[in-house]
Amino acid sequence: MALAKAAKNIPFAFYSTDYVFDGAAGPYTETDPTHALSVYGQAKLDGENAILDAHPNALVLRTTGVYGPDPQGKNFLYTLRRVINAGNTMRVPVDQLATPVHVEDLAAASIALVQGGHTGIFHLAGPEFLSRYDFSLQACDILDLPIAQVQPLTTTELNQKAARPLLGGLRIDKLKATLPHITMRSPKTGIQDWKNATA
């Protein structure tokens, strides 16, 4: 919030998440009611509100399931390939759905919104609503990884400590209406591009 106050007269962007929603009826629009299930989601939601209060012309950019080239190799694709190539099983939720976005599309849309002087809340996400398991199957097919080493489990079976929105994800109708030239690539294209970039 202090940064937002200090930047009142210059563009300011804050990244948030679909975890500000409860996952009962996603994917969500910018105007859908928020209801965070976890401390992380609530912290992001509190951040959104504080930023917009401190800097009414700020950008709040909600995103989800970011994948693609990463110097630190920390996103889902790197983990999937690393675990399976090590001969281990990747445990993946079948009931957590979202709209994964390629990091380069996220960056391009963010820059275009800032440069265009746009303000308020925007959703930046991919065009397909699918489960983490289905995303994994697409990745295995493209990366030539054995699908048998991906184990589908429910969120309850995974026993994850923090609550996750099950039907999460974000709609990007507002983004497409604002920036009709922006293209958000499908998981199939995005995974292939990541494979080419990390070969």
Please identify every residue annotated as catalytic.
40
Contacts 24+ apart (CB under 8 A), 181-186: 182/105, 182/108, 182/109, 182/112, 183/105, 184/101, 184/102, 184/105, 184/109, 184/124, 184/125, 184/126, 184/127, 185/102, 185/105, 185/126, 185/127, 186/126, 186/127, 186/128
**Helix 132-143 to helix 76-85 angle, to the nearest 10 degrees?**
60
Residue the block writes with tokens 């970039």: 197
Give the three-state DSSP class for 170: strand
